[in-house]
Structure 1
């Protein structure tokens, strides 16, 4: 029951992320904010989401995971009310500073981190990657549905849906059983299970993973989907219809790749699946601007998306598997927080991307940085033993 509620909560939340990714900028502009102030609010939203994810995950096992998530759900409703009714910049700033507004459809706030820790708590180790695959599959489809809904329903309806989602989230989390909380007996049993692992204190396993994931996220900021669409428009002169088909196909392949990742991980291991699916996808990324025709460029990009997201469920399962249970909430908090934190500087990266879009420099840079990330991840973590 708890696993199903976590999946439902993920779907409800990411549905609203998809809605906000379409309507938020227009909503703020219609309230009289300049493009600069809209950019400021987006940056604050991402930074606040990262900070709250990192901070609340550190105290969740003392306060209670369910308690933190219920409060965060209610904060979502408060953010929706402020976005709907506030017109001045200070109140809108408060709305995004609560850490539950996602301008990019990426995970923000404590939700993802604590949900991942809870899934790891209640799902057996051998089924964990498959559970994370379903978790991400639901989230990806919900974002797509939310974006589609934003083109159908009125803005008032969408804001009401966003506010209602916070109450639904609180209800889902209130319905979770006590098994999602950290068991008091676990720390002693696991404390010395694998002395060969990287140190748990100082700049240990969690911090190294977080740093590496930050490098990956930073490189990803060079080739966000909006830039990919812009580059295809400049290079091949395609219109919005073709771009929509291109990105729909890319996201569809990425979503179904989550299920394939679970099967590969069961056979070859989590780290091997993470690295040896991500590595060729980054080579393909660097090849996209070298393609002479639109069909070839689309085919290479689609093939890249069919591989590039396989590391998402495996990365989450791996993070949960290399730390003891009492470290899972903290590990998920830091590794989740680094991604919106890195995205917060995406306006700077976007400037570089636009200036050099014609000959594809961002594709080369992103591919190269991500390849270095893959090789470093494998070298550093290959000796680390899983705790499960």
Structure 2
């Protein structure tokens, strides 16, 4: 979900001000960037697949919890925790892709992965807009759908690659 739509939802649901939201999203994006530095340590301890999926799954569960937060403070805490975990998978995913694809095809595989993510990101505003109607928006339907899709992605990758040699430490 875009920052604009998420900001609107926080303003509608919790009466968050623009000043509060500016600080929240500054902190969220800073955490997102800093958290990626933990990926190498996680890969060395758990392996590429776990480093991709564990933080991503935890981030999706936190995303699903946000609509149930009773206060702005608790919702922001969940969002910040989610952001701290949500992109740890990026370096591990890039390394995993390089490990499972023959060297001659790595550039093409990296391009296809980027294109697939870009298409998914471009479709999400349309899907979120559809879910931003009436009572659905107050229930946090876009957040719940996004979390469900992410969890489905994690489970699918785990099932497909759990026995791959590079998935282990």
Task: Specify if TM > 0.5.
Answer: yes
1:240 aligns with 2:18: yes
Aligned to 2:43: 265
1:310 aligns with 2:93: no
1:225 aligns with 2:16: no
C-alpha distance in 2 between matches for 1:290 and 1:247: 20
Aligned to 1:371: 151
C-alpha distance in 2 between matches for 1:351 and 1:381: 34
C-alpha distance in 2 between matches for 1:368 and 1:321: 27
Give structure 2 stretches of 5+ with no counterpart: none
C-alpha distance in 2 between matches for 1:233 and 1:289: 13
**CA offsets, 1:258-299, max 9 Å, x none?**
001121112211101111111111111000010111111100
Mapped contact 2:64–2:147 kept (Cα < 8 A): yes
Which one of the candidate residues 134, 138, 142 is aligned to 1:358? 138
Equivalences, count: 164
Which one of the candidate residues 253, 275, 282 is aligned to 2:31? 253
**CA offsets, 1:113-132, max 9 Å, x none?**
xxxxxxxxxxxxxxxxxxxx
Larger radius of gyration: 1
Q: CA deviation at 1:347?
A: 4.0
Q: TM-score, length-normalised on structure 1? A: 0.41
Q: CA deviation at 1:339?
A: 1.5
Aligned to 2:163: 383
CA RMSD of aligned residues (A): 1.3
- List, as ranges, runs of 4+ consecutive aligned residues in structure 1 with deviation greater than 3 Å: none
C-alpha distance in 2 between matches for 1:343 and 1:372: 16
Aligned to 1:334: 112
C-alpha distance in 2 between matches for 1:385 and 1:324: 14
Which structure dedicates a bigger proportion of its chain to helix?
Answer: 2
Mapped contact 1:319–1:332 kept (Cα < 8 A): yes
C-alpha distance in 2 between matches for 1:336 and 1:233: 32
